Amino acid sequence: MYKIRYFSATNNSKYYAYSLYEEMKKDIDDISYEFIDINGEEFKDDVLILFFPILFQRLPISLNTFINNSKFENTLIYVYAGSFDKLGIVLNDLKNALKEKDVTLASFKIVKVPNNNIIKLWGKATGEFSASIILDKGRNEVLKDIEKIKNKEKDDVNKIKIKYKKNKYTKISYKKYEEEIAKLGDHFMINSECIRCRTCQMDCVRENIDLIDGIITFKDKCEGCLACINNCPYGAIEYEDITRGRRRYKNPKEINE
Ligand SMILES: Cc1cc2nc3c(=O)[nH]c(=O)nc-3n(C[C@H](O)[C@H](O)[C@H](O)COP(=O)(O)O)c2cc1C
Ligand code: SF4
Ligand code: SF4
């Protein structure tokens, strides 16, 4: 069976996953498309197609957790990693996560995505017009691979060389990285615009957000995806002073599931 799974904070990766699903289902019956289940899944003789954004030059923690908690038997994996900035060591992280699993990494591709990283010092969310152009191009890139995926063709992923910029996150082990990012919520602050709608809580894949005594509170298992900050309808979540007055990322594409 063909299984498309995605992780996405602001629907860029979701848009690519959905676009592929819409095209492939026209001639394939046994195909599914879902948000990743971080508790894991069982794959047997399947083709798994993964979509996710690169975060802090690393594999998103929910993706790593999904792989760790899943069971694989003779699974072929195609990967599309969304990148706006630095590619980082995401392929190394992925290979480590897949080590000792009964999988073949058939392809690993970087797809250009708009930027939603508004906690970076000079970070600016891509505007809707430019985002739309980037997403159209990225979609076309992904759709070019349909025949390859259908025919279960493989690239030589060992030939891929990823250049990265050394920073505090690329220098540490994945475990240490997870520990560092988990505490990111300590920097998040709720302003007076919050109406306690709980959108952020429902959006958080890590279940890192709670409403305690009427106040939105962040726990200690964040993965830094920024779904909460970008998607809050009232712009009520700030990252220290950095995001104050800064445009949030808004995905211009409609996904009619
Ligand atoms: C905290 C954070 C860190 C990011 N780090 C990187 C990075 O290291 N390299 C990169 O290419 N893109 C990086 N991005 C950009 C995202 O990959 C990009 O905005 C992507 O479109 C988000 O996809 P989504 O809508 O599917 O969540 C980062 C985004 C966030 C929020
Ligand atoms: S999404 Fe925004 S307004 Fe809604 S509960 Fe969260 S912080 Fe408050
Ligand atoms: S708290 Fe916000 S940034 Fe952290 S994992 Fe949840 S949604 Fe993502």
Q: What percent of the chain has pLDDT over 90?
A: 92
SS3 letters for 39-101? CCCEEECCEEEEEEECECCECCHHHHHHHHHCEEECEEEEEEEEECCCCCCHHHHHHHHHCCC
The pLDDT of residue 162 is 75
CA of 82 to the centre of ligand 1 (A): 7
Residue 22 DSSP SS3: helix
The pLDDT of residue 86 is 80
Rounded Cα gap, residues 236 and 134, in angstroms: 28
Average pLDDT over the chain reads 96
Q: Please compute the mean of the pLDDT values over residues 84-99 and round it to a whole number.
A: 93
> Which amino acid residue places its CA nearest to atom 4 of ligand 1?
55
C-alpha angle 86/89/90, rounded to 5°? Answer: 90
222 lines ligand 3 (CB under 6 A): yes
Residues 154-191: pLDDT tens digits?
999 988 887 788 889 999 999 999 999 999 999 999 99
Pocket of ligand 2 (CB under 6 A): 190, 194-200, 216, 232, 234, 236-237
56 lines ligand 1 (CB under 6 A): yes
Write down the residue that tokens 């990766």 correspond to: 13
Residues 31-49: pLDDT tens digits?
999 999 999 999 999 999 9
> Which amino acid residue places its CA nearest to atom 14 of ligand 1?
55
Rounded Cα gap, residues 220 and 179, in angstroms: 9
C-alpha angle 37/28/46, rounded to 5°? Answer: 45
Sketch out the chain's domains with CATH numbers.
2-159 (3.40.50.360), 174-239 (3.30.70.20)
Backbone angles phi, psi at 199, to 5 degrees: -55, -45
Residue 103 DSSP SS3: strand
